[in-house]
Amino acid sequence: MDFENLMYGYRLGSRAVFTEPQQTPLGITGNMLSRSVGSSLEFMEHREYLPGDDLRRIDWGVYARSDRLAVKLFREEVNPHVDLLLDVSRSMNLAGTKKGEATYALTGFFASVAAESRFSFRVFVTDNGCRTLERSHLMPLDWEPFDLTATSSPDDAFRQIQPDWRPRGIRILVSDFLFMAEPESVVSRIAGDAAVTILVQLLAQSDAEPPEQGNLRLVDCENGERLEIYLDVLSREQYKRNLARHQENYHLAARRYGAHLTTVIAEHFLETGRLDELFHLELLKFNETS
């Protein structure tokens, strides 16, 4: 387990917080005010009394002034929750790249953002199904150790054991999305009953921009099979077209299910610590207290 990069990402995340979801995450009474009606002490507005309304909610001052029965509506207090599903397959630790380091850093980043937002947090990893990482609700140094060595894809893990995540919470999947699966199937499983769904495609620079040309030895991260190929200009351009089409299919699925997809280059994130698109989409904002 790469504690150094996990904690590097945790320090980066202290500069940001999650924005309040438009759809209130499900939770117990807590310290975050939602946009839905509930029973906290912050008054929202009045509405006409309807049969069956709690008589304790009637505003007798309004009745005295207008002879009209009206009830008080309050904002619901909730304790928002974040579930992070982490692809721990071997492809997330591509040899000769910073992809593995960035995987740990992104995990620490989102854990820190949740802590700064005062949201509860939990990690699921895709080995032996989608299983809960023990103690991941605590500080990263207390987590159960994990490695990027799984031989199954996130889609395989979903089919084996689905994550036991919180309904109407914020859900994040960090993966390269380079496994064989129907994008709609993957996205629909995650978005389901979530308030917010964030899909982070983490690629190494060489995933996004393969070498210009030359002999390459490809190794299948899942089964270890090796293949020698010669990469020329035409095959490189074909690879880039295939990747673009694959990404577009995920974008289409994300839009259909109300999810948000962003692509992050590992080397760039480690160098800058920035996730500009998530700020642009107003899913994150700068932490005013940091």
Same domain, 38 and 94: no
Q: Are strands 284-286 and 16-18 parallel, antiparallel or unpaired?
A: antiparallel
CB 164 within 8 A of CB 18: no
Q: What is the pTM of this model?
A: 0.77
Name residue 18's beta-bridge partners: 284
CB 281 within 8 A of CB 5: no
Q: For residue 138, give every residue at least 6 positions away whose Cβ sits within 8 Å of its Cβ, in sequence order, or none.
A: none
Whole-number pLDDT of residue 233: 73
Both structure tokens of 228: 């020698």
pLDDT higher at 42 or 117: 117
CB 200 within 8 A of CB 92: no
Which one-letter DSSP state was computed for residue 179?
A: S
Same domain, 164 and 269: yes
Same domain, 157 and 103: yes
CB 118 within 8 A of CB 31: yes
Question: How far is CA 51 from its chain centroid?
Answer: 42
Same domain, 38 and 125: no
Residue ending a domain, choose from 78, 94, 116: 78
Domain membership flag for residue 133: yes
User: What CATH number has the domain bearing residue 119?
Assistant: 3.40.50
Q: How far apart are CA 179 and CA 77, in angstroms?
A: 40
Same domain, 7 and 136: yes
Share of the chain above pLDDT 70, in %: 80
* Domains: count for the chain: 2
Q: How far apart are CA 75 and CA 67, in angstroms?
A: 26
CA separation (Å) from 170 to 114, 196, 216, 243? 10, 5, 40, 27
List, for residues 189-201, the tens digit of each pLDDT value.
Answer: 999 889 999 999 9
Same domain, 50 and 156: no
CB 189 within 8 A of CB 83: no
Same domain, 222 and 255: yes
Band of the pLDDT at 25, cuts 50, 70, 90?
Answer: very low
Q: How far apart are CA 126 and CA 16, in angstroms?
A: 26
Band of the pLDDT at 29, cuts 50, 70, 90?
Answer: very low
Overall average pLDDT of the 88-97 stretch: 92
Q: How far apart are CA 62 and CA 35, in angstroms?
A: 24
Q: Are strands 120-125 and 131-132 parallel, antiparallel or unpaired?
A: antiparallel
Domain membership flag for residue 199: yes
Same domain, 91 and 178: yes
Same domain, 132 and 236: yes
List, for residues 127-170, the tens digit of each pLDDT value.
Answer: 989 999 999 999 999 999 999 999 889 999 999 999 988 888 89
Q: How far apart are CA 277 and CA 176, in angstroms?
A: 17
List, for residues 203-254, the tens digit of each pLDDT value.
Answer: 999 888 876 655 554 445 455 555 555 566 777 788 788 889 999 999 999 9
Domain membership flag for residue 289: no
Same domain, 185 and 145: yes
Band of the pLDDT at 188, cuts 50, 70, 90?
Answer: very high
Domain membership flag for residue 285: no
- Domain range for 68 is 32-78
| 3-class secondary-structure state, position 58 | strand
CB 130 within 8 A of CB 85: yes
Domain membership flag for residue 158: yes
Same domain, 202 and 125: yes
Among 12-26, 116-130, 138-152, the minimum mean pLDDT is found in 12-26
Residue 97 has pLDDT above 60, yes or no: yes
CB 108 within 8 A of CB 269: no
| 3-class secondary-structure state, position 230 | strand
Whole-number pLDDT of residue 71: 77
Domain membership flag for residue 288: no
Whole-number pLDDT of residue 214: 56
Same domain, 178 and 227: yes
Domain membership flag for residue 71: yes
Domain membership flag for residue 163: yes
Among 54-68, 114-128, 135-149, 275-289, the minimum mean pLDDT is found in 54-68
Whole-number pLDDT of residue 171: 96
The CA angle 84-239-150, to the nearest 5 degrees, is: 35
Overall average pLDDT of the 92-112 stretch: 95
